[in-house]
Chains A and B, each alone.
Chain A
Amino acid sequence: MADTSHVRWLYRELPDLVAQGVLEAQAAERLRRHYGDPDMAGSTAKRWAVVLFSIVGAVLIGGGVILLLAHNWDELSRPMRALISIAPLALTAALGAWVLLARTQSTAWREGVGAAQTLAVGASIALVAQTYNLGGRFDEFMLTWSLLALPAAYLLAATLPALLYLMGIMVWAGSVTYHPGSSLWYFPLLAAVLPFLWWSGRANRYHPRPVLLAWMLAITACFGTGFAVERVCEELGARPVVFGGLCVLLYLCGARWWKAAPSVLQRPLQNVGALSAVGLSLVLSYSDGWSGVASSAVNWHSVSSLQDGLQLAAAALVTLAALVVWVRSFRRRVWSEVMLGAVSFLVCAGWIIAGMGDQAVISAFVFNLYLAVLGIGTLVTGLRGRRLGTVNAGMAVLAAAILCRFFDSDLSFVVRGVAFIVIGIGFLSINLVLLRQRQEVQP
């Protein structure tokens, strides 16, 4: 979103520009339409501030009530304590019904009550368990809480229940990794929240709500997918393959759907996907990064049950989907996407090579080469387009790859020190040159 003070300045200038013939009247009108009313932008920001405060207020009040109840008042009888534990939930449910009847249009009310109700559901289950001294199982608690909270997201159009749900199913999948059949349910559970994400972004996908949801989706999906196919990944040493595929899938989906994001923060899938892909590539540039893939460690025989087969199918599907999307980018000749998306192909190739008689060194070498190509390629793309952010991203990839190799080797402190200084000078000089060029273009 453009800074409203700049938009106001532009609007003051427009009549003069049109009068002096610098700009045509239609072009000025198109600019007005593009940037919209700056006063409206201010009121939107204020509205969102009210919504945020309503969520924070509801969470604080709810948290305070829960803490009071958690004191475990000995003076009250056990059934009385248990019934009081349900009171906040009953209250927030009644408030929710009132909001749906009388305040349907108020985002602040819907978000606030949705947040409070989500907290109240978890608190009532936990407090009843506390009243009856039930340690209980954390996975069962998280799943119950998440499943009961999600419908509130749809019915109240509230964000927090959906955020909690995404977090909750990830934590649940992490606590049932020992049971391959159960952890696989992560995928259908994840599918249950996706329509809400689509619905909240259908009018404006750069709105804070879908962006926040997409950040949570990207981060939790990375962990959740790993947990869901943990057993197969462990037995086959396929963790890098699945994780690489997921990173690429996130990045390429983000590049397609959040393409015109005005700020970095509004590109959640691209950021999480790209950072994770580069992080994974750095790990795989070490021979030890392939240690689980050595042929002796891969245990195909252990993948014997139906649940294991389903996990294998899910892992293969993630990898295949990434490869298909990558090939589509290749056909469309979008080189920035092709370069980063190559991780999914290279990690598959590296996994096969490393599995053929302990050839981890070759796979690690391939990833060193890839990081160099990715870094230089990104740097060149940035320089050509004079995009400072892309240049710095390319430099960062190159610097990280070089630094990793330096920590890996037995070179002396003097050599390492000189190399760090050279990389630092390179960073500074390229940034200075680009900034100067930009100032020359915009005097």
Chain B
Amino acid sequence: MNAKLIFGLYVILAVVQLAVPFGQIRKYEDILTTGAVYKLRTAPVDPYDAFRGRYVALNYAGTEAPLRKGERLENRSTAYVALRRDGNGFAQFVELSGEPPLEGDYLRVQYFSMNAIGEDVPSFRLPYDKFFMEEAQAPQAEAAYRKHVKRSGDKDSGTYVVMRVKAGRGVIEELYIGNKPVRDMLKKEGARGKP
């Protein structure tokens, strides 16, 4: 192959390689600016996944929803869950389907034919299972998250994420622990700990 052709192809490759992360940045910035706001209640994480280091491992409460009538999905396949907001702004999972709903907000998820305790109940996994923080803060935040979620149970722990949703994609805006943004909570706890 001649050198000019190789160089031309390489330039195309470099553009494509750069376009992928750049396209992601544009898409997620757009979601954070124009996406619909939902709160998602979190749940305790698997204790065996305890040490994460750089992020808070998240799990979500109530990740079960009925399948759209007449539909059958392959276990672990890609699915879409339709969303509805309750009075407090928390997301309710309405229905699962292999196709995105024509109206309303929805999230792209992974479908499971059984729920977490092995019952034959359609459930799903949200892919937003990490909240990244600075390495010094992340372990403290994770410990606080675990403490609050366990202490208060699933419903009223005040531990949730605020997410922006658009066209099936979601981006976490903030993690709340004890109804406070996680960084504010850590600052407050740090100040309280000082002599």
Residues of chain A having any CB pair with chain B under 8 Å: 70-74, 79, 82-83, 85-86, 89-90, 93, 96-97, 100-101, 104, 117, 121, 124-125, 127-137, 144, 148, 151-152, 155-156, 178-179
In the complex, the chain B residue whose C-beta lies closest to that of A83 is B25
**B127 with A96: CB separation less than 8 A:** no
Could you say which residues of chain A place their CB within 8 Å of the CB of B22? 86
Cβ–Cβ contact B134 & A71, under 8 A: yes
Mark contacts of B17-51 with chain A using CB atoms, 8 A cut-off: 1 yes-contact digit, 0 otherwise: 11011101100110010000000000000000000
Query: In the bound complex, how far is the Cα of B6 from the Cα of A132, in angstroms?
Result: 35
Look across to chain A and name the residue whose beta carbon is closest to the beta carbon of B23. Answer: A128
CA distance A372 to B74 in the complex (A): 46
Q: Give every chain A residue within 8 A of B74 (Cβ-Cβ).
A: 178-179
**Complex: A230 Cα to B24 Cα, angstroms:** 33
Comparing B7-15, B84-92, B96-104, the segment that makes contact with chain A is B7-15
Q: Which residues of A contact B6 (CB under 8 A)?
A: 100, 155
B contacts, CB < 8 Å to A? 3, 6-7, 9-11, 13-14, 16-18, 20-22, 24-25, 28-29, 32, 54-55, 74-77, 110, 127-135, 137, 171-172, 183
* Chain B residue nearest to A96 in the complex (CB): B10
- Asked whether, in the complex, the Cβ of B24 is within 8 Å of the Cβ of A125, the reply is yes
Give A305's nearest chain B residue, CB to CB.
Answer: B74
Most chain B CB inside 10 Å of its own CB: which residue of A117, A133, A134: A133
Please, which residues of chain B bring their CB within 8 A of the CB of A86? 18, 21-22, 25
Q: Do A89 and B21 touch across chains, with their CB atoms under 8 A apart?
A: yes
With A97-B10, A132-B24 already in contact, 14 other A-B pairs whose C-beta atoms are closer than 8 Å: A70-B54, A100-B6, A100-B10, A124-B21, A128-B25, A132-B172, A133-B128, A133-B131, A133-B172, A134-B128, A134-B130, A151-B13, A155-B10, A178-B74
Q: Which of B9, B18, B110 contacts A155 (CB 8 A)?
A: B9
Cβ–Cβ < 8 Å partners of B132 in chain A: 72, 130-131, 133
User: Do A93 and B133 form a contact, CB below 8 Å, given A101-B7, A133-B171, A135-B128?
Assistant: no
Contacts of A155 in B (CB 8 A): 6, 9-10, 13
Cβ distance B183 to chain A, nearest Cβ, rounded Å = 8
Min Cβ gap A341→B in Å is 38
The distance in angstroms between the C-alpha atoms of A166 and B135, with both chains bound, is 32
Q: Are A128 and B14 in contact (CB under 8 A)?
A: no
A73 engages B21 (CB within 8 Å)? no
Which of B21, B129, B131 interacts with A128 by CB under 8 Å? B21
Chain A residue, CB-CB nearest to B14:
A93
State the Cβ distance, A347 to closest chain B Cβ, in Å: 30
| A79-B25, A125-B20 known; A178-B172 Cβ under 8 A | no
**In whole Å, how far is A143's beta carbon from the nearest beta carbon of chain B?**
12
Chain A residues closer than 8 Å to B20, beta-carbon distance: 124-125, 144, 148
- B24 x A128 contact (CB < 8 A): yes
Nearest CB of B to A279, in Å: 30
Interface centre among B11, B25, B130, B135 (most CB of A within 10 A): B25
A95 shortest CB reach to chain B, Å = 10
User: Could you tell me if B134 and A72 are in contact, using CB atoms closer than 8 angstroms?
Assistant: yes
Return A306 CB to nearest CB of chain B, in Å. 13
Of the candidates A71, A89, A178, the one whose C-beta lies within 8 Å of that of B18 is: A89
Contact A134 B17 (CB under 8 A): no
Residues of B within 8 A of A72 (CB): 54, 132-135
Contact A132 to B130, CB < 8 A, known contacts A79-B29, A93-B18, A155-B10: no
Docked Cα-Cα span, A359 to B129, in Å, equals 48
Closest chain-B Cβ to A430's Cβ sits at a distance in Å of: 50
Q: Report Cα–Cα, A83/B132, bound state, in Å.
A: 17
Distance in angstroms from B31 CB to nearest chain A CB is 8
Docked-complex contact A125 and B130, CB < 8 angstroms: no
* Chain A residue contacts of B14, Cβ below 8 A: 93, 96-97
Residues on A with C-beta less than 8 A from B135 are 71-72
**Is A125 in contact with B21, judged by CB distance below 8 angstroms?**
yes
Instruction: Note all chain A residues with C-beta closer than 8 A to B77.
Output: 178-179
CB of B28 within 8 A of CB of A73, answer no
Cα of A272 to Cα of B54 in the assembled complex, Å: 38
Task: Choose from A124, A131, A134, A179 the contact partner of B127 (Cβ within 8 Å).
Answer: A134
Contact of A179 among B18, B76, B130, B137 (CB under 8 A): B76
**CA separation between A13 and B21, bound complex, in Å?**
63
Residues of A contacting B172 in the complex (Cβ-Cβ under 8 angstroms)? 132-133
Point out the residue from B25, B134, B137 that lies within 8 Å of A82, measured CB to CB: B25
CA separation between A137 and B14, bound complex, in Å? 24
* Partner pick for A100 among B3, B128, B129, CB 8 A cutoff: B3
Q: Which residue of B lies closest to A180 (CB)?
A: B74
For the complex, give the distance between the alpha carbons of A19 and B3 in Å: 52
* Cα separation A86 to B20 with both chains bound (whole Å): 10
What distance in Å separates the Cβ of A410 from its nearest Cβ neighbour in chain B? 38
Of B24, B75, B134, most A-chain CB atoms within 10 Å: B24
Q: How many angstroms from the CA of A128 to the CA of B23 in the assembled complex?
A: 10
Contacts of B16 in A (CB 8 A): 148
Please determine whether B171 and A136 come into contact, CB atoms closer than 8 angstroms.
no
Q: What's the Cα separation between A134 and B126 when bound, in Å?
A: 10
Note all chain B residues with C-beta closer than 8 A to A104.
3
A147 CA to B129 CA, complexed, in Å? 25
In the assembly, what is the distance between CA of A79 and CA of B18, in Å? 15
Q: With the chains together, A343 CA to B17 CA distance in Å? A: 44
Complex Cα distance, B13 from A90, in Å, reads: 12
Distance between Cα atoms of A72 and B183 in the complex (Å): 14
B129 adjacent to A152 (CB under 8 Å):
no
A82 to B24, CA, bound (A): 10
Residue with the greatest number of chain B CB neighbours at <10 A, chosen from A83, A101, A132, A152: A132
